[in-house]
Amino acid sequence: MNKFTESERAAMAEELAVNGFNSLLRLIVLHDKNILDITSAKYKVGTYCCASGSTIKSWSKHGLRGVYVERALEFAACYHLPINAHQLEPTKAIIEQWLEYDYNLVKSGQAKASTFNGWDIAARGISDKESIKTASFECLMSVGEM
């Protein structure tokens, strides 16, 4: 059986996509002197991608999806920005690697270094969300071996 649930994979995919989108915006601000802040960069990418206002707004919460990834990469190429498709739309392998990394942080007692909040609490056998940050090595290890 898989070590991670589909909801954990989906949450990690979304978190990585949002991080990639935010990285793209910061790179745009750094490389274009006419774009002074993240909001302007977001508007510029949205305009280039022909996205609606609600779609642009959703990118901050969910990351870029579908054709918008390709268009954003085209936009980034105009500025010669060092960003790739897997940063905006993470692959299954990358999602698994980040889940494994975060899981190992939590189970080794380094939960403060963990930034991922998408653990499937029911599947992990932990009664409340805060407990995952303080759960013992044995609890996470035994549940992770499901």
- DSSP secondary structure code for residue 9 in this structure: H
The pTM of this model reads 0.80
Residue 61 CB burial class (10 angstroms; 0-12, 13-18, ≥19): exposed
pLDDT at 128 > cutoff 60: no
Tens of pLDDT, residue by residue over 48-76, are 999 999 999 999 999 999 899 999 999 99
pLDDT given for residue 107 in this prediction: 78
Tens of pLDDT, residue by residue over 6-37, are 999 999 999 999 999 999 999 999 998 999 99
pLDDT given for residue 125 in this prediction: 62
Mean pLDDT over residues 123-134, rounded?
53
